[in-house]
Chain A
Amino acid sequence: MSSEHQQVSGNINPFNNNSFNNNNWFNNTINFNTEINTEGRQILQWLSLLEPQQRHQGVRSDRLDSIGNWVLETNEFRKWSGAEDDCVKPVLFCDGNPGVGKTYLR
Chain B
Amino acid sequence: MIDSLCDQAGGGDIAVVGLYCDFLAQQEQSTTNMLGAIIKQIVSRGRIPEYIREAFKKAKKEFGGRGLRLPDLVEIMKKAVTALPRVFICVDALDESTPKPRRELLESLREIVQVSANTRLFLTGRPHVGDEIMRCFGKVARIPISPSRDDIRSYLEMRLGNDTDPEVMDVELRVDIMRMIPEKVSGM
Q: Which residues of A contact B (CB under 8 A)?
A: 18, 21-25, 27-28, 31-32, 36, 39-40, 42-44, 46-53, 55-56, 59-60, 64, 66-68, 70-72, 74, 76-77, 79-81, 85, 89-98, 100-103, 105-106
- B6 at interface (Cβ–Cβ under 8 A)? yes
- B26 at interface (Cβ–Cβ under 8 A)? no
Question: How distant is B40 from chain A, measured CB to nearest CB, in Å?
Answer: 5
Contact: A28 with B44, CB < 8 Å? Answer: yes
Whole-angstrom distance between the alpha carbons of A68 and B152 in the complex? 10
- B62 at interface (Cβ–Cβ under 8 A)? no
Contact: A46 with B56, CB < 8 Å? Answer: yes
User: Size of chain B's interface in residues, with CB distance under 8 A?
Assistant: 74
Q: Mark B92-122, 1 if CB is under 8 A from A, else 0.
A: 1100000000000000000001000111111
In B8-25, the 8 Å CB interface with A consists of: 8-11, 14-16, 18-20, 22
Q: Is the interface of B mostly helix, strand, loop or mixed?
A: mixed
Contact: B158 with A64, CB < 8 Å? Answer: yes
9 closest A-B pairs (Cβ-Cβ)?
A48-B36, A96-B145, A50-B37, A48-B37, A102-B124, A47-B36, A91-B140, A24-B6, A76-B141
Whole-angstrom distance between the alpha carbons of A85 and B86 in the complex? 10
User: Whose C-beta in chain B lies nearest to the C-beta of A106?
Assistant: B4
Contact: B45 with A94, CB < 8 Å? Answer: no
Tell which of B14, B119, B145 has the most Cβ of chain A within 10 Å: B145
B146's contact among A25, A89, A100, by CB below 8 Å, is which?
A100
A-B contact pairs, 5 of them (CB 8 A): A39-B53, A77-B143, A89-B141, A94-B123, A96-B146
Question: How distant is B68 from chain A, measured CB to nearest CB, in Å?
Answer: 7
A24's contact among B11, B53, B122, by CB below 8 Å, is which?
B11
Cβ of B56: which chain A residues have Cβ within 8 Å of it?
42-43, 46
